[in-house]
Structure 1
Amino acid sequence: MFPKPLASLQPNTYEYESLPMVKATGFREYDARWLFEKEINLMGMQALGMGIGTLMHERDIRPEIVVGHDFRSYSSTIKNAVMNGLMAAGIKVHDIGLALSPMAYFAQFALDVPAVAMITASHNDNGWTGVKMGIDRPLTFGPDEMGRLKEIVLNAEFNLKGGGSYTFVEGFPDLYIKDLTNRAKLKRPIKIVAACGNGTAGAFAPKVLEMIGAEVIPLDAELDHTFPNYNPNPEDMKMLHALRDKVLETGAEVGLGFDGDGDRCGVVDNEGEEIFADKVGVMLARDISALHPNSQFVVDVKSTGLFNTDPVLLANGAKTDYYKTGHSYIKRRVTELNAIVGFEKSGHYFFNAPIGRGYDDGLVSALAILDMLDRNPDKTMADLRRDLPQTFGSPTMSPHCEDEVKYEVVDRVVAKFKDMQAKGETVGGQKIVDLITVNGVRVVTEDGTWGLVRASSNKPELVVVIESPVAKDRLHEMFKAVDGVLRQNPEVGEYNQTL
């Protein structure tokens, strides 16, 4: 019998090498993230593999799974531990090796395998590890599956049938690249900078973009798991600034930045302006709805209000549904509504048929952006940006808040804003006209300025986003007001970045 995991163990001890350690907070809303060796050890990762296999048996899923890993110094070792657990639970493992998360999702279709377990910490800093999982392609786990997996693992409720097996899928990256590039080439060689942050995308993105006819200038595309320049995260202003500088230096038409596991794409225009992903989403929605009138879109609650007010989208008959933030949530909502695309402010884009298969792939997003430029040869990326109604938005800002208390803090913040609305109090000098509480709270004032507070789904942080359609001053006033409410909670720490 495999022992029940413990919440903590002292490293460099007999117990640490002999018992599984799994911190409960690593089971998040729709995937799993831990600080490796501090919150989970290799036996803990093996227990996780056993848990995934057990859950597959419970849900009557054919016992086969695709497994891949991102480019971190420890990801391959962690993958081996997870695979040991899966095989102990009687699962046939298809190992695609070093991969992007969307490569693993694609493998479910290409290899006709029902389940996936991608070993990645995504955009989290080095030291983190995690798994993105799914048993119903193209969907990944939501709270129901994650909750049950947590119970199985922490209570050691394993179904260890044995009889699992292992297959290494040789040459799988070639299949993925062929699938992306089996299409018409660009009409002209659009000059781009492709920033990879020394992460996994460096092995694939420049090659794919060159193959569809782009003139590619690689930036930090050499694989280096120390991430020597910046963390590969296209929401991080440090990465966007490096991309901006290279675009201006080279005269590129656009800069594209990919995160650590390649499922997101950030954008800098030809004038060096960083365009937040929700605004890029509006630009893409305009382009797509012109080709496919009356399109249904899904966006997360962090995203700009332009999806509901943009005159071009309204003229094209576009419909937009605002939903919970999180790749698993938006992916499911896109499937439920048969939306053509789902957009997240973080840069996760979920292209459905006829563009994609419903999962998030930063390279599919990059190709859609280049196709948009190709269809508008008389306009630059900056022109397309300026065509949008002007709004003033913040980056995604994340004050520290421990996993154990962050949801309680958000509940307090929601209650505070509800109380303020009931009493007729103002926020940033403006009356509250709406509180959207589908995911944290989005406080909307009478001039259309809004502020969002929610708990991060994958790190010990809160998430704060502000937007104003009026003026930059209103953006700052709203941030000051929202932050003032947050500061009433002593558990809230420093921001990773602010206005």
Structure 2
Amino acid sequence: MLPKPSADLKPNTLTYEVAPLVKATGFREYDARWLFEKEINLLGIQALGQGLGTLIRELGKEPRIVVGHDFRGYSLSIKQALIVGLMSAGIEVNDIGLALSPVAYFAQFDLEIPCVAMVTASHNENGWTGVKMGVEMPLTFGPDEMGRLKEIVLNAEYKSFPGGEYKYVEGLRERYIDDVVKDVKIQRNLKVVAACGNGTAGAFAPEALSRLGIEVIPMDAELDHTFPRYNPNPEDMEMLHAMRDAISEHGADLALGFDGDGDRCGVVDDEGEEIFADKIGVLIARDLSALHENAQFVVDVKSTGLFVTDPILIENGAKTEYWKTGHSYIKRKSHEMNALAGFEKSGHFFFNAPIGRGYDDGLVAAIALLQMLDRNPDKKLSDLRKSLPKTWQSPTMSPHCADEIKYDVVKKVVATLEARAKDGGTIIGQSIRDVVTVNGVRITAEDGTWGLIRASSNKPELVVVIESPTSEENMKKMFAEMDAVLREHPEVGEYNQKI
């Protein structure tokens, strides 16, 4: 049995080689993320695997699991350590090799295996590692499961069981691509940039899109775990600007950008305009609600207010519920409500039957967008963008804030803004229309301009998003007010990007 993990072991020492290192903050709201070697070592990963196997048995689930890994220089060794831990807990491990997160989710259905553990740090920079986990298709862990897993691992409550087995499963890449393109043929003549950021999606997206009958221009599709041009994150302006430049260079109709593990999709239109994923969600919701009566959608609190004010969605009878940010939250809420689709501003798209199986998949989202264009043969993507009511919207901005204190900071910010509203205060010189605290705080002025502050679920950061339906000036005023509230807390650091 492994010894109890420690939160502070120094690399290149005897204890580092014989004891698990596991920093508690790596157990996040719905998955696990650590800086490899600084916050977790391979024995810590092994303890995580044995803890996950123990939890699977504790929950009464069938002791079989799909395991895959993304394309980073250390992900394979991390997956192997995880497998050792799972097998020591008596779990049958089905290793699908190099994979996207949606390939691992697809494998659960394809192999009829209830549990999944995908080794990926998603869009986090190199140095990060993590695991996305689930024990019930198509859902992934939420706070309850993550909280119990944290207890099991940090308290060394993991147990050994007989019956552990290893199986290597071949051919999942081909079966997955066959599945996402089946019965789909784009009739329209489209030229599409497929931006992969040298991440894992490069081994999947260009081929899958090409099989739809469109012209595909691969961009940074060569796998390179150093990520030489930019981090594969379609929410970062650096990647979006590279996609914009490729549109101009190739005269393409649009660019599709995929993150490091392929469960998100970013979009740039034919005029080089970055369309944030929540507004792509509005366009797709328009398209789908015209095809499906009484369509229900779920979106995260970072998303545009157009989901409830757009005249076409209202005319189509579409209903939208705002919910907590996070792929696990939106996935679960969409599943519980049997919503047609769920959308996150970060680029996670969730489609239930008859479109998808309920999990987030960047390629399925890309295909839904291409089918929307196919159903509008006389319109460019820029035309559809321009048909949306005008709003001025910030990118997602993330000031640094340590994991140990970020939730306390947000709690104080929530209290500050709630008190302002209760006392009849103003925001950007206007009365306050409402304050929503389902996930951090989203405060809205009388004209509909809103600002959001919440804690990031997977990095030592806060998240700030702003939107105004009236002017760029009011968007900037709201950001200034939100930033002023944050600057009352000196532990909040610099932004990764800002307006």
Q: TM-score range by the shorter chain?
A: over 0.9
Matched ranges for 1:69-84 at <5 A = 69-84=69-84
> Paired residue for 2:305?
305
For 1:43, what is the secondary structure of its paired residue? helix
Runs of 5+ consecutive residues of structure 2 not aligned to the other structure: none
Instruction: Tell me how far apart the structure 2 counterparts of residues 459 and 440 of structure 1 sit (CA, whole Å).
Output: 15
Determine the structure 1 residue equivalent to 2:393.
393
> Which residue number corresponds to residue 497 of structure 1?
497
Aligned partner letter, 1:187: Q
Partner AA of 1:104 in structure 2:
A
- Give me the whole-angstrom Cα distance separating, in 2, the residues matched to 1:302 and 1:158: 37
What is the letter of the counterpart of residue 175 of structure 1?
A: R
Please give the alpha-carbon distance, in whole angstroms, between the structure 2 residues aligned to 1:181 and 1:468: 38
Question: Which residue in 1 is equivalent to 2:381?
Answer: 381
Aligned-pair CA distance for 1:447 = 0.6
Please name the residue that 1:230 is paired with. 230
> Does the CA contact (< 8 Å) of 2:122 and 2:261 recur in 1?
yes
Note the C-alpha offset of 1:188. 2.5
Residue 165 of structure 1, CA deviation:
0.3
Question: Which residues of 2 match residues 152-167 of structure 1 at below 5 A?
Answer: 152-167=152-167
Deviations 1:123-153 (A, max 9, x none): 0000000000000110000000000000000
Q: Which amino acid aligns with 2:248?
A: L
User: Counterpart of 2:127?
Assistant: 127
The aligned counterpart of 1:36 is: 36
Q: Do the aligned partners of 2:188 and 2:377 also contact (CA within 8 Å) in 1?
A: no
1:32-181 to structure 2, matched below 5 A, reads 32-181=32-181
**Residue deviations 1:257-276 (CA, integer Å, cap 9, x gap):** 00000000000000000000
> 1:229-277: CA deviations, max 9, x gaps?
0000000000000000001111111100000000000000000000000
Partner of 1:426: 426
Q: Does 1:200 align with 2:200?
A: yes
**Misfit runs of 4+, over 6 Å:** none
Summarize deviations over 1:308-346 as a string: whole Å, max 9, x none. Answer: 000000000000000000000000000110000000000
Cα distance in 2 for residues equivalent to 1:390 and 1:293: 26
2-side partners of 1:399 and 1:430: how far apart? 26
Matching residue's letter, 1:16: Y
> Match of 2:480?
480
Quote the Cα distance in structure 2 between the aligned partners of 1:455 and 1:119. 23
Contact 2:79–2:119 (Cα < 8 Å) also in 1? yes
| Partners of 1:473 and 1:69 in 2: CA distance | 45
Q: Secondary structure at the match of 2:33?
A: strand
Residue 475 of structure 1: SS of its match in structure 2? helix
Quote the sequence identity (%): 70
Q: Is the 8 A contact 2:2 2:19 kept in 1?
A: no
Please, which moves more after superposition, 127-136 or 182-191?
A: 182-191
The residue type equivalent to 2:461 in the other structure is E
1:467 aligns with 2:467: yes
* 2:343 match: 343
Does residue 282 in structure 1 map to residue 282 in structure 2?
yes
Deviations 1:433-471 (A, max 9, x none): 100000000001101000000000000000000000000
Instruction: Give TM-score, length-normalised by structure 2.
Output: 1.00
Distance 1:267 1:149 in 2: 36
TM-superposed CA distance for 1:303, in Å, is 0.1
Letter in 1 for 2:396: T
Query: Residue 404 of structure 1 corresponds to which residue in structure 2?
Result: 404
Question: Relative to structure 2, which stretch is displaced further, 62-71 or 423-432?
Answer: 423-432
Cα displacement string for residues 367-396 of structure 1 (whole angstroms, at most 9, x for unaligned residues):
001001111000000000000000000000
CA distance in 2 between partners of 1:386 and 1:106 (Å): 35
CA shift, 1:293, in A, is 2.1
Question: 3-state DSSP class of the match of 1:117?
Answer: strand
1:181-196 matches, within 5 Å, as 181-196=181-196
